[in-house]
Chains A and B, each alone.
Chain A
Amino acid sequence: MSIDMAQFHQVFFEESFEGLDIMESGLLNMDPGTVDPEDINTVFRAAHSIKGGSGTFGFEDIASFTHVMETLLDEMRDGRRSVNTETVDVLLQSVDTLRELLSAARDGGEADEARVNAQKAALERVLNDAPESPADDTEDINGTAAQPVPREEPRTIGWHIVFRPHPHMMQTGNDPLRIIRELASLGESTIEADTHGLPSFQVYEPEQSYLSWDIRLRGEIPRTAVDEIFEWVEDDCDLAVMPILDELPDAHVQQESVNPSEQIRSQPVAESAKNDDSTAKGESPVGSGTNKATGKRKSAAGGSTGSIRVDIGKIDALINMVGELVITQSMLGMLGEDFDMSRVDRLQDGLAQLERHTRELQESVMQIRMLPISFTFSRFPRLVHDLSTKLGKKVELKLTGEHTEVDKTVIEKIGDPLVHLVRNSLDHGLETPEERIAAGKQETGSVELNAFHRGGNIIIEVRDDGRGLDKDRLLKKGIEKGLVAENNGLSDKQIYDLIFAPGFSTAEKVSDVSGRGVGMDVVRKNIMELGGSIEIDSEPGKGSAIIIRLPLTLAILDGQTVAVGDETYIVPLTSIIESIQIRPDMVNLVAGRGETFKLRDEYLPIVRLHDVLKVENARAKELTEGLLVVVEGEGRRCGLFVDDLRGQQQVVIKSLEANYGKVMGISGATILGDGSVALILDIPGLMRQAFDGDPLTSPDWRLSA
């Protein structure tokens, strides 16, 4: 029977990665001194499952690594080893190594062998530290350990077996009959039952065994094959297994002198179980089975597609919706069979219904891509634990809104920026315990990660109650680096925003935790790529907050269609503040700054879309002929000059990058109802392009105060 083990790999990987998370959070819960035994148990079980699965599915390296972890956890579980920080840390690092091993196995790659071995050695060091290191930790789960297997006599031509079940044997679910039948299948056999043990009928208990057997097996049968059959019952019977030797014509002499109960027991069952039993059957199913599994591993990994777990409720909603859609479709179909104008009302009703169902279906499908942000947040307890130890700071991490759902792409891309921000908070934001006490604060600092919905956006905040941003130092540094002029009159917020400038790092000492100077600008870039924005709020001595705003979904966008010449463009609704018709007296021509217009108390630059996007046949050339769409992006505003506004509609975003190439100022494309293609404007990008250069040094920067 051949079964392709590769089909179980994906489930195995999924549950193993979940197991790693369980192990991690369990380990993080273990405070030396007050350890909940259930925590240890949970961690142990997770390790145990990974070990069992990896061995079964052919990942020996993972199995042998996990085995060492499991041994250590087992000692902790049995109370043979106390839980201390060192042990927990080594286990946490091992979880990382295991994650690496699993990822490598899943993706068909190779884990860093040196690192794995080093980590294994670290585990073994901890294990060997214990005076009461258990003897059984040498067990090799691959079953390849050199076990003392009794050598077969070269001249053995069979086995003489005396088998006397104990009375209770059948109550263990073992049946002497089956055992004998199996023995007989090994070779030519002569079996004699010994009925001496049978009691008289009056005292006979039907649930007990009274018989014993004398069995002679002939053939080239390895001892292990015989042992294996008796493996489970060795304590439930008297058993003697003696070789029948080729040159002894009469084995009786030997046999009769033996009292079965004095015979050496067959070797410990575990060993015989592990010693390749397939040889007993004269075929090699084990070998071929394993090879098959390993052979398939690569192909399975290569073809692995990203999968997401979807709440069953969402699927039900979807199925429900499709059902509605089918009903509407058949209704419309019937209507179309003999249609005349008298039925036009019903047609319109049907179409309205179709539209509603399509929209609901679309929303339901979008819901599938939504995952709780806890997928991202879950890595932070560990991160904060490790970092605070390293930095010698006391930190309490608070997570709120973990169930807030965000698009899967956001989950994938927001992780690294958030890690960077949390690191910054710990490294630069929070003070040491001494500094905090001196400042009259609690010794333990707090870092909060919050996620919530607000008005069509997802807000993710990273807050700390540390020292806050040092405005003077930021400003000094900004001037030093030539990012801002002296006496520039920047607002607090604009000074804070300096940390997002490329190459700007405020850490006096570059530590290995953060402050490599490549940080915040990359963070901002990543968030902008997700269509979001980032801002900072800070109060000296009280702490800082970084607020990230992201669109609810990345696949659909609420857009305003605008016309420029023959072209139609989409402006994301979230970036539009208002649209105005301009009067000549509002416009100012400022030297070196191009056209600006005065909107209430502000002067905003004008971006002529037909100029920037090189549209030849724009109808509105004079500012008074068209409309100004006032847009905002990255804290800057400008007026986009367009011919006309069309409707507002939801558009499905198609990647321009994937289908064509990256275009400055354009974030994607969509297909309109009439089949034509419209480009979606990337407002921040457009402004960067229009004002040509670094937003911090461009002249308009200071205008939009």
Chain B
Amino acid sequence: MASILAVDDSASMRQMVSFTLKGAGYEVVEAADGVEALNIAKSRSVNLVITDVNMPNMDGITLIKELRGLPNYKFTPLLMLTTESSPEKKQQGKAAGATGWIVKPFNPEQLISTIKRVLG
């Protein structure tokens, strides 16, 4: 079973993402910010990370940069959840090493189909 690390400071979004992914048969680990996520990612391996961008303590872009620098996460799909569909934000994310993004608002079906694209 593939495992996914879901990072968001908003509990409702985290719950929704987690519920949806678990329903699709994935194992889900949750984190409320970048720092927490990075610690989890270092202590165990996950097959995919899906992270919000704006978070306290450590934002999503920094998290992606940090993760991509870790040998275990060199090829791991790292997705950002963003409401900011402005090209700069995505460029920033890509430059940090993000695999792709999901633009909020999204619904569970979109989430699953997107995840399947990189975690087939």
Contacts and interface: CB of A to CB of B under 8 A. Distances in A.
A247 B2 CA distance: 46
A277 B106 CA distance: 11
A178 B77 CA distance: 12
A673 B110 CA distance: 61
A44 B54 contact: yes
Interface stretch (A96-104, A283-291, A558-566): A283-291
A434 interface: no
A84 interface: no
Nearest to A10: B12
B72 interface: no
A443 interface: no
A207 B71 CA distance: 12
B100 A8 contact: no
Nearest to A63: B105
B10 A53 contact: yes
B13 A56 contact: yes
Interface string B62-103: 000000100000111110010101110011001001111101
Contacts of A182: 117
Nearest to A3: B108
Given A278-B109, A285-B109, A289-B109, A45 B12 contact: no
Interface in A10-57: 11-12, 15, 42, 44-45, 48-49, 51-57
Contact of B90 (A171, A181, A269): A269
B16 A141 contact: no
Contacts of B83: 48, 51-52, 55, 70, 141
Contact of A173 (B9, B75, B106): B75
A6 to B, nearest CB: 11
A142 B9 CA distance: 22
Given A171-B75, A173-B75, A174-B118, A3 B20 contact: yes
A25 to B, nearest CB: 15
A256 to B, nearest CB: 30
Interface string A366-409: 00000000000000000000000000000000000000000000
A481 B74 CA distance: 83
A15 B87 contact: no
B86 A270 contact: yes
Contact of A5 (B16, B24, B52, B55): B16
Contacts of A139: 85-86
A56 B118 contact: no
A56 B16 contact: yes
Nearest to A11: B12
B54 A174 contact: no
A15 B120 contact: no
Contact of B77 (A7, A173, A273): A173
Contacts of B90: 269-270
B75 A170 contact: yes
B107 interface: yes
Contacts of A293: 107
B13 A42 contact: no
Contacts of A142: 105
B109 A52 contact: no
A165 to B, nearest CB: 13
A52 B13 contact: yes
Interface in B35-61: 52, 54-56
B94 A172 contact: yes
A207 B75 CA distance: 9
Given A15-B11, A45-B9, A173 B99 contact: yes
B28 interface: no
B16 A173 contact: no
Contacts of A173: 75-78, 97-100, 118
A259 B90 CA distance: 27
A290 B75 contact: no
A3 to B, nearest CB: 4
A502 B83 CA distance: 54
Interface centre among B54, B76, B105, B108 (most CB of A within 10 A): B105
B20 to A, nearest CB: 6
A45 B112 contact: no
A172 B12 contact: no
Contacts of A231: 100
B108 A8 contact: no
A249 B40 CA distance: 56
Contacts of B10: 15, 49, 52-53
A14 to B, nearest CB: 8
A173 B75 CA distance: 5
Contacts of B20: 1, 3
Nearest to A236: B94
B46 to A, nearest CB: 12
Given A5-B108, A7-B19, A173-B98, 14 more contacts: A1-B20, A1-B109, A44-B54, A52-B81, A52-B105, A53-B13, A55-B105, A57-B16, A141-B83, A173-B75, A173-B76, A229-B117, A270-B87, A285-B109
7 contacts: A3-B19, A8-B19, A45-B56, A52-B13, A52-B83, A170-B75, A175-B118
> Which 5 residue pairs are nearest across A and B when measured between Cβ atoms?
A55-B105, A173-B99, A232-B100, A12-B12, A285-B109
Interface of B: 9-13, 15-16, 19-20, 23-24, 52, 54-56, 68, 74-78, 81, 83, 85-87, 90-91, 94, 97-101, 103-110, 112-113, 117-118, 120
Interface of A: 1, 3, 5, 7-9, 11-12, 15, 42, 44-45, 48-49, 51-57, 63, 70, 136, 139, 141-143, 170-175, 178, 181-182, 207, 229, 231-232, 235, 268-270, 273-274, 277-278, 281, 285-286, 289-290, 293
